Amino acid sequence: MSDKPESCESRAPKSTYTISARGKADHQSVIKFLKQHFAAVPLAQVESVFGFVEPSTLYGGRFYLMRQLSERDTGLLANHGIGLRIPFTNHFATKEEFDANRPLLAKYHHKRNSIICTNDDLAYWIKQEYPDYDIEASVIKNLLKPEQIEEAFDLYDTLVLPMVLNDDEAFLAALAQKDRIRLFANAGCAYTCPARICYKSISKFNKGLGGEFKCSQDLKAREMQGMIDFDLQRLRNLGFHKFKLLRARAGDLTGY
């Protein structure tokens, strides 16, 4: 990340970051992981860390292959006052699946923790029965229009906007409730992706439904820019202070 932590003398609200735990080695504690790979971000500004915990068919975004945050890790996050974000971003959810995930939801139900959702029904069910969670609309929802964003605020506590909107200063400046909006601090292949068809195929795989992994690279040409760091001071000047931070995969083509 090219951004530097803000001066302690700044009058603006401190930026906070939600950070990806994807790719963390099993033997490494989450706190050491943060200090090694995200050293530019003080722990006091780490709002939360996101990653898979116990197995669930409600995960989306990435293939569920193994747990990314151990019992020890979730305990360390709690001890440091850092929230856990659970990526329940599967496109497809049934009431039966929600019922099956009650033990997991009850275990981590705390005001500092949050659930990321793509499916509106799932977000509603969780919000009704586990009100202490912050329910965040995933970037996968692709909220690109002001009316979509305003409608999403009726259900979700916070929203993650597509990283392409970081380039549209007039659009961002006009948005209300900036304190409920999270922007990407950096981005990988999704920044220039024209379709994002991978997400639905991953949702099916995580339910054990098989199928074929699909990527728009094979269907429509696009520029691959690798990992991009956004100018966070420019975004702060527009009134945004919540950011999502990824870690580059080997080769720097996309992020964990």
pLDDT tens, position by position, 97-153 = 999 999 999 999 999 999 999 999 999 999 999 999 999 999 999 999 999 999 999
Q: What is the amino acid identity at position 136?
A: E
pLDDT digits (tens, 9 = 90+) for 8-66: 435 668 999 999 998 898 899 999 999 999 999 999 999 999 999 999 999 988 778 88
Q: Where are the beta strands (DSSP E) in 176-250?
A: 181-184, 186-187, 228-229, 242-245
Q: Would you give the distance in Å from CA 244 to the centre of its chain?
A: 6
Per-domain boundaries in the chain: 16-190+226-245
Distance CA 52, CA 34 (A): 16
- pTM for the model: 0.88
Q: Which CATH superfamily is domain 16-190+226-245 in?
A: Phosphatidylinositol (PI) phosphodiesterase (3.20.20.190)
Q: What is the amino acid identity at position 82?
A: I
The confidence score (pLDDT) of residue 203 equals 83
pLDDT digits (tens, 9 = 90+) for 72-93: 999 999 999 999 999 999 999 9
Question: In 62-88, which positions are buried (b, 16+ CB within 10 angstroms) versus exposed (e)?
Answer: bebeeebbbeebbebbeeeebbbbbbb
- pLDDT tier at 204, thresholds 50, 70, 90: confident
The confidence score (pLDDT) of residue 248 equals 73
